[in-house]
Amino acid sequence: MRIPTLLLAFFLSGAAPLRAQAPADSSYRPTASDLADGERLFESQCSRCHGVGATGGVGPALNRLRLRRAPTDVALIQVILGGLPGTAMMGFWNLTVEEASQIAAYLRTLGRRPPELVPGDAAAGRATYEGKGNCGSCHILAGQGAGWAPDLSDVGLRLSAAQLRESLVEPGAAQPISPLPSVHGPYPAFLAVEATTSTGRQIRGTRVTEDDFTMVVRQADGRLRSLEKTTLRRLRKIPGQSPMPSYASALSASELDDLIAYLASQRGEP
Amino acid sequence: MRRTLLALLTIAAAAPPLAGQVTDARLRAARREPANWLTYSGDLKAQRYSPLSQITPANIGSLRPAWIYQAVTPGQMQTSPVVVDGVMYLTEYQGHVAALDARSGRVLWRYQQAVPPTLLALGFAPTNRGVAVLDSTVYVGSPDARLVALDARSGAVRWNVPVADNALGYAITGAPLAFGDLVIIGISGAEAGIRGFLDAYDARTGERRWRFYTIPAPGEPGSETWGGDSWKTGGGSTWLTGSYDPALGLLYWGVGNPGSLFNADDRPGDNLYTCSLVALDAKTGTLKWHFQFTPHDTHDWDAAQVPVLFDGRFQGRARKFVAMANRNGFYYLLDRVTGEFLAGTPYIQQTWAEGLDASGRPVLRPNTEPTGAGIAITPNLHGASNWYSPSYSPRTGLFYVAARQMGSRYYKYPVSYTPGRYFLGGGESEFGGDSAHGAVKALDPVTGKARWSFPLHSPPWAGLLSTGGGLVFGGTNEGVFFALSTTTGRPLWHFQTGAMINANPMAFAIDGRQYLAIAAGSTLQVFTLAGAGTAVR
């Protein structure tokens, strides 16, 4: 199969960081067999994080037309091979440029499917977001709000409507991931922890980062506590909990639909 | 005439070597001069043990940075520096060499490799793990599979020879091993379906003295363990520095995975000598014995770990040992004279073998080969250990290893060979995050049982150093350089270096002052006790 030749030369240079821009080669035309190979590779290499059919998992859904960090095919191939530094997306050194091209081609076919229908009224959802939901007390959206919870400015590109609903109804099951506290991600980004210091003081919060000797915990009031693990009397990690409350009973069914519609419309556009 | 020659030789042997000159005699007795670190693993036995004892559990609280070297070339530094009479030789990413004043960290000279823009690095980064020094020459491999000899005083090139063809995927990342009048160098490339070998070069001229192919050709012993033409692409890289016993004249070297990695349809049989330890006559390169850890490997479990040599008693008899904490999850103890299997014990929780039989061959669990749908196996392809070094302390008699506890899902794909391309036949999807972790373990070297274990937050990529001061030094993915008690594993000191540690610690001394060195990110960081010298008051 033909692969973008400029891109190939770029990767063959080996030592070059994989983030640099390379021009797209529009002559690439994947065959049916390329697409089948791309699907097979995606399911074995990528679906653990991005979900079967790229519908999303701990990693974002990729079955959409516009991928924020990969606007072009070449950029998508670069992300697959080189990863996204500072995120849980690692580079796949074991894939060839052809294989990454096949995965990218397969993903682009998914993106051409019609967008999912979201019931609910986005404008009404905005009022819920700003009012009853009080979402901005933890989240940022388009630059507004507090900053420690996930940025929702482009959440409509990252999460499907089903995932948005899960996040609102059962936040502990929808843990976002983070490459911290190690290069060996993905780790839950908001792991709940309880620590008892040598003086008996209780510290509760979410893990921000951790190594063998230290842990930084964000308390409910937003304050950071930097802990020396060897001096603690007790340290407990509580997986599956989220600092976010469930909105299952706090909002009505139609309010939830509206809020989901509003969040699904957030596409990172100013 | 003969008597005169003998007398001359005696005088030559007795004359003290010039400062900075690493003779074969010095290499053989490397641990008798603990201030220096003359070869990759500290000595030819590859124990990565420093007898230096100035830094102890009692004073380590005042260990401080002495200086930091920032590499000119960005990229993860995996170097094990060599220190000779106050001069440190290290390699940066891509194999560029720097010689530093080991007291101040100032650069004396630097050698820049000519890395071609068409460089192939299939299956690994173009990293470099260090140099060898013999007499007044520094030897280094290049990412495009050349071996270069540099003048130790100036960095000027003495010779530069091709070892193999990078266009086929051959590369060099490991440090050479030099002794006698030979430079031994291994190669990488099994991910591209090479036929592996180990080479010896004349230290003076760069002429090749011998080559040992790790994959036998048809008609040679072991060729019956391959099917059809599969030996031609059989892999068997030799990418990590081995060890040498001068008294036996035997060279010990680990051999890597077979090709293709995950799809073994075309290579029925044990696939010798992949995933094996080979013992070669150092003069001729002929095979004396071999021991295969993982026959017919389909999980990328190279035996590219450092083979450590030490002596001891086994079932009441004095023995010469070679030990390896293998990537497949088992610790092995062999007789290094005969290759006889003595003992083998898992040092992580592995899921592929019931155990080892009396000959050391694994007793497989059913259904452990990769499939199209994927199959979960521990360890993952990076193994229970990897390229980084273990340490053996003759003081405690314990074998220290940084163990990786992580599984993955292994997949099998159809595969065909194209020169200079990946030859994998599958892949894996590792189980990372909080489900994976690691540990520094102190193993009884005979039984392989852990005497103590210090847990690590994530599966490590850094080796260990044990010292005469009673300390084990190691590093973490999260950038922590740390020290544990050799006898209890209790953590005694730690320092955040600011970048991932994917390297081995080492120790040296200048003017009676002990230093420790570790590469982190693209820096080399050197530590010493506060207050004892000119640097810190």
- SS3 string, chain A, reads CCCCHHHHHHHHCCCCCCCCCCCCCCCCCCCHHHHHHHHHHHHHHHHHHHCHHHCCCCCCCCCCCCCCCCCCHHHHHHHHHHCCCCCCCCCCCCCCHHHHHHHHHHHHHHHCCCCCCCCCCHHHHHHHHHCCCCHHHCCEECCEECCCCCCCCCHHHHCCHHHHHHHHHCHHHHCCEECCCCCCCCEECCCEEEEECCCCCEEEEEEEEECCCEEEEECCCCCEEEEEHHHCCEEEEECCCCCCCCCCCCCCHHHHHHHHHHHHCCCCCC
Looking at residue A267, what is its pLDDT?
83
**Parallel, antiparallel or unpaired: strands B137-141 and B146-151:** antiparallel
Q: Which residues of B touch A214 (CB under 8 A)?
A: 496
User: For chain B, which ranges sit under pLDDT 50?
Assistant: 1-14, 534-537
Are residues A15 and B115, on separate chains, in Cβ contact within 8 Å? yes
CA A168 vs. chain centroid, Å, equals: 16
The average pLDDT across A178-205 equals 85
Looking at residue A185, what is its pLDDT?
64
Looking at residue B532, what is its pLDDT?
56
The average pLDDT across A163-182 equals 83
Tens digit of each residue's pLDDT (9 = 90 or more) over A87-138: 778 788 778 888 899 999 999 888 776 667 888 999 999 999 999 999 999 9
Looking at residue B17, what is its pLDDT?
61
Are residues B432 and A186, on separate chains, in Cβ contact within 8 Å? yes
* DSSP, res B301: -
Looking at residue A18, what is its pLDDT?
32
Tens digit of each residue's pLDDT (9 = 90 or more) over B80-125: 999 999 999 999 999 999 999 999 999 999 999 999 988 988 888 8
- Spatial separation of the C-alpha atoms in residues A75 and A90, rounded to whole Å: 15
Decide: B481 and B507 in contact? Cβ < 8 Å.
Answer: no
Residue ranges of E strands in chain A: 140-141, 144-145, 177-178, 187-188, 192-196, 202-210, 214-218, 224-228, 234-238
* Residue B8, H or E segment: helix B2-14
Q: Which residues of A touch B386 (CB under 8 A)?
A: none
Looking at residue A196, what is its pLDDT?
97
Looking at residue A115, what is its pLDDT?
65
Decide: A22 and A6 in contact? Cβ < 8 Å.
Answer: yes
Tens digit of each residue's pLDDT (9 = 90 or more) over A55-76: 877 788 888 777 878 888 888 9
- Spatial separation of the C-alpha atoms in residues B515 and B503, rounded to whole Å: 16
Residue A258 scores a pLDDT above 90: yes
Identify whether A60 is preceded by a cis peptide bond (ω within 30 of 0): no
Beta carbons within 10 angstroms of residue B181's beta carbon: 15
Looking at residue B251, what is its pLDDT?
98
Looking at residue A13, what is its pLDDT?
34
Residue type, B455: P
- Spatial separation of the C-alpha atoms in residues B207 and B163, rounded to whole Å: 10
Domains of chain A: 5-111 (1.10.760.10), 192-238 (2.30.30.100)
Beta carbons within 10 angstroms of residue B164's beta carbon: 24
Range picked from A200-204, A238-242, B434-438 for highest mean pLDDT: A200-204
Decide: B372 and B364 in contact? Cβ < 8 Å.
Answer: no
> For A12, which of B120, B124, B459 is closest by C-beta distance?
B120
Looking at residue B16, what is its pLDDT?
57
Per-residue H/E/C for B423-471: CCCEEEEECCHHHCEEEEEEECCCCCCEEEEEEECCCCCCCCEEECCCE
Q: Is A99 helix (H, G, I), strand (E, B) or coil?
A: helix
**Parallel, antiparallel or unpaired: strands B146-151 and B480-485:** unpaired
> Which one of A8, A212, A236 would you mutate to disrupt binding with B, by most B Cβ within 10 Å of its Cβ?
A212
**Parallel, antiparallel or unpaired: strands B317-325 and B137-141:** unpaired
> For A44, which of B120, B374, B436 is closest by C-beta distance?
B374
| Beta bridge partners of residue B49, listed in sequence order | B466
Its ipTM equals 0.78
Decide: B305 and B390 in contact? Cβ < 8 Å.
Answer: yes
pTM (predicted TM-score)? 0.86
Looking at residue A4, what is its pLDDT?
42
Range scoring the smallest mean pLDDT among A37-46, A241-250, B289-298: A37-46
Q: If pLDDT is split at 50, 70 and 90, which confidence band does A14 have? A: very low
> Which CATH architecture fits B37-478?
8 Propeller (2.140)
The average pLDDT across A31-53 equals 86
User: Alpha helix (H) ranges present in B15-82?
Assistant: 24-28
> For B433, which of A12, A186, A214 is closest by C-beta distance?
A186
Q: If pLDDT is split at 50, 70 and 90, which confidence band does A48 have? A: confident
Residue spans per domain, chain B: 37-478
Range scoring the smallest mean pLDDT among A43-52, A136-145, B507-516: A43-52
The CA-based angle B98-B103-B104, given to 5 degrees, is 70
Looking at residue A1, what is its pLDDT?
44
Residue A220 scores a pLDDT above 90: no
- Residue B236's nearest CA partner among B284, B175, B285, B169 is B169
Q: How many CB pairs (< 8 A) connect A and B?
A: 94
Give the minimum alpha-carbon distance from B401 to chain A in angstroms, rounded to a whole number: 17
The average pLDDT across A43-50 equals 82
Looking at residue A24, what is its pLDDT?
38
Looking at residue B114, what is its pLDDT?
92
**Parallel, antiparallel or unpaired: strands B375-377 and B63-70:** unpaired
The average pLDDT across A17-23 equals 30
Are residues B433 and A187, on separate chains, in Cβ contact within 8 Å? yes
Looking at residue B86, what is its pLDDT?
95
Residue A85 structure tokens: 């530094």
